[in-house]
C-alpha cells in the first residue's frame, strides 16, 4: 500500500452516528483542518484549493489569521476568545457550504467542545462537515515555525501558546488524520481528495 493509500485508508468509511451523512455529490462541504500551529494546515489548504479550482469547484479558504484581522478583530487568546473565533468561522463556513461552496478551514480550534459546537451547527442545517486532524508532532512544528513563536514560548517570552502552555485537545474521532512530518504535500493533498471522494463530496 502506498503512502497515499495508507493516508486515505485511515478515513472512516461511513459517517459515524451523530455526524453529517454525505449528501448529493458536488454540493458544498466544510473541510476543517485542525492541528497545532505550524502543523501545515494553511499550506495544505491552499494546495488543495488550487487542485479543486482546477477541477471547476467553487472553493473558499477561511484562514484563521485573516479572519482575526477582519471578522474577529479585537479578540485575544483567552479560552473564551478562542471559542468565539472558532464559532464565528464555523458560522461563516456553514453558510458558504450550505450554498454549494467547498470551504476549507485551516484553523487550530484547540478545544473539543468548540469543534463539536461547529459540527452541531452544521448538522442543524443538514450541511456536511469533515474534520481532519493534522497530527504533526510539536517538535516538528517548532522546527518549522518561521514566526519563532514556539521559541519565544519555550523561553517564557510569550504565553498562551497552543501546544506549549495552552492545551490542544486532540480530536478523538476525526474523519482523517495526516502527519505532515511523514507525508509530503502531494501525498497529503491526495489523502484529502480521497476523503472528499469517499464521502461523495466531489
Cα(102)–Cα(196) distance, integer angstroms = 10
- 8 Å CB contact between 34 and 106: no
Cα(132)–Cα(167) distance, integer angstroms = 18
Please list, in sequence order, all residues whose beta carbon lies within 8 angstroms of the beta carbon of residue 113, skipping any fewer than 6 positions away. Answer: 83
Output the tens digit of pLDDT for each of the chain's 202 residues.
333 333 333 333 333 333 443 333 457 999 999 999 999 999 999 999 999 999 999 999 999 878 877 776 677 778 898 899 999 999 999 999 999 999 999 999 999 999 999 999 999 999 999 999 999 999 999 999 988 999 999 999 998 899 899 999 999 999 999 999 999 999 999 999 999 999 999 8
User: What pLDDT, on a 0 to 100 scale, did the predictor assign at position 73?
Assistant: 64
Alpha-carbon separation of residue 40 from 32, 36, 95, 174 (angstroms): 13, 9, 25, 17
In 23-111, alpha helices (H): 41-54, 64-70, 79-98
Pairing of strands 176-178, 129-134: parallel
Cα(46)–Cα(59) distance, integer angstroms = 10
Query: What's the whole-model pTM score?
Result: 0.84
With cell 484581522, the residue in question is 69
- Comparing CA positions, the residue from 107, 127, 103 lying closest to residue 115 is 107
Amino acid at each position: 500500500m502506498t503512502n497515499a493509500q495508507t493516508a486515505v485508508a485511515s478515513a472512516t468509511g461511513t459517517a459515524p452516528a451523530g455526524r453529517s451523512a454525505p449528501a448529493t455529490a458536488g454540493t458544498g462541504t466544510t473541510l476543517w483542518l485542525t492541528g497545532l500551529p505550524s502543523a501545515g494546515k494553511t499550506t495544505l489548504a491552499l494546495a488543495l484549493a488550487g487542485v479543486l479550482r482546477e477541477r471547476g469547484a467553487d472553493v473558499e479558504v477561511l484562514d484563521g489569521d485573516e479572519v482575526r484581522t477582519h471578522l474577529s478583530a479585537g479578540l485575544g487568546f483567552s479560552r473564551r476568545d478562542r471559542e468565539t473565533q472558532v464559532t464565528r468561522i464555523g458560522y461563516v463556513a456553514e453558510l458558504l457550504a450550505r450554498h454549494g461552496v467547498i470551504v476549507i478551514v485551516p484553523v487550530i480550534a484547540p478545544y473539543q467542545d468548540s469543534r463539536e459546537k461547529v459540527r452541531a451547527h452544521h448538522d442543524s442545517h443538514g450541511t456536511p462537515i469533515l474534520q481532519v486532524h493534522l497530527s504533526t508532532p510539536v517538535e516538528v512544528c517548532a522546527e518549522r515555525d518561521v514566526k519563532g513563536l514556539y521559541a519565544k514560548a519555550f523561553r517564557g517570552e510569550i504565553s498562551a501558546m497552543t501546544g506549549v502552555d495552552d492545551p490542544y485537545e486532540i480530536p478523538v474521532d476525526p474523519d482523517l488524520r495526516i502527519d505532515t512530518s511523514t507525508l509530503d504535500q502531494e501525498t497529503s493533498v491526495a489523502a484529502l481528495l480521497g476523503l472528499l471522494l469517499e464521502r461523495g463530496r466531489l
